[in-house]
Chain A
Amino acid sequence: MAAIYKVSYVVSGEEHPGAILNTESRPEKGDQITLGSKKFTVIEVIDLIPPKGEFHYLHATIQTQN
């Protein structure tokens, strides 16, 4: 099975609880993502904990698009 990326998205600079979701590709700096009705830009991605099997555990910091 292909890699699955379980990502903790944390919103920088505002009162937003962020999101957790699985993605099929590793998010990268500069990617655009939509959570609910709001659009965000990924500004940093780090490995949160070591991968296990197909699952990779990431933390992405995002901010509202200008």
Chain B
Amino acid sequence: MEHRNILEAVELFDGASPEELESVAALCKEQTFTKGDIVTAQGESGDELFVVCDGFVEVLRTGSTPEQAPRSVVHLGAGQIFGEMALVDHGPRSATVKAASDTTKVLILRQDEFERLCDQNHHLGFVVMRNIAADLSFKLRHHHLTGR
């Protein structure tokens, strides 16, 4: 499937025009992981945003002390994004993300390239930031519902 067609079904780009989607798709790189592969590691610096195309990733958080085992926070499947917090606050990765399916396919957007595009196109920048806020809100609601 073409990157643009994948992005059409991702909430992050809901409200973007076909031309804007094309410009984002042109920045995307596709990568496939196998089950257990680490995609991002908690505490490391991060300069990429990820979109799950196929399969699942598992998000894990390590506690404040090294002896605490990593805790599974959520599984993310098709159409979901991760790595967005680094895009918003430029901080280190807040969680470790592992491939949870035998074949896990993601699209990768480099933060600097994506921010440059949003700086050049303020409508796209508004759409993306509004939708990142909505996505973070949805994840928070999910977290509340799990009662964990």
A4 at interface by CB-CB < 8 Å: yes
Interface residues of A: mostly helix, strand, loop or mixed? strand
Report the number of A-B residue pairs with Cβ-Cβ less than 8 Å: 82
**Mask of B41-76 contacts with A, CB within 8 angstroms, 1/0:** 000000000001000101100000000000011111
Tell me if B145 and A20 are in contact (CB < 8 A). no
Which of B8-16, B85-93, B114-122 is found at the contact surface with chain A?
B8-16
B80 at interface by CB-CB < 8 Å: yes
Which residue in A1, A20, A35, A59 is a CB contact (below 8 Å) of B139?
A: A20
Tell me if B101 and A36 are in contact (CB < 8 A). yes
Tell me if B14 and A19 are in contact (CB < 8 A). no
A10 at interface by CB-CB < 8 Å: yes
Contact partners of A6 in chain B: CB under 8 A: 11, 79, 138
Question: Shortest distance in angstroms between A24's beta carbon and chain B's nearest beta carbon?
Answer: 9
Tell me if A35 and B56 are in contact (CB < 8 A). yes
* Chain B CB within 10 A, most for which of A21, A23, A53: A21
Give the docked Cα–Cα distance between A18 and B29 (Å): 28
Tell me if B75 and A17 are in contact (CB < 8 A). yes
Tell me if A1 and B8 are in contact (CB < 8 A). yes
Contact partners of B73 in chain A: CB under 8 A: 17
**Mask of B120-148 contacts with A, CB within 8 angstroms, 1/0:** 00000000000000100011011001101
Which residue in A1, A4, A8, A23 is a CB contact (below 8 Å) of B142?
A: A8
Give the docked Cα–Cα distance between A56 and B24 (Å): 23
**Mask of A22-66 contacts with B, CB within 8 angstroms, 1/0:** 110000000000011000000000001100111101010000000
Sampled A-B contacts (19; CB under 8 Å): A8-B138, A8-B141, A8-B142, A8-B145, A10-B145, A11-B146, A15-B148, A17-B59, A19-B56, A19-B77, A20-B74, A20-B77, A20-B138, A22-B11, A22-B79, A36-B58, A48-B138, A55-B14, A59-B141
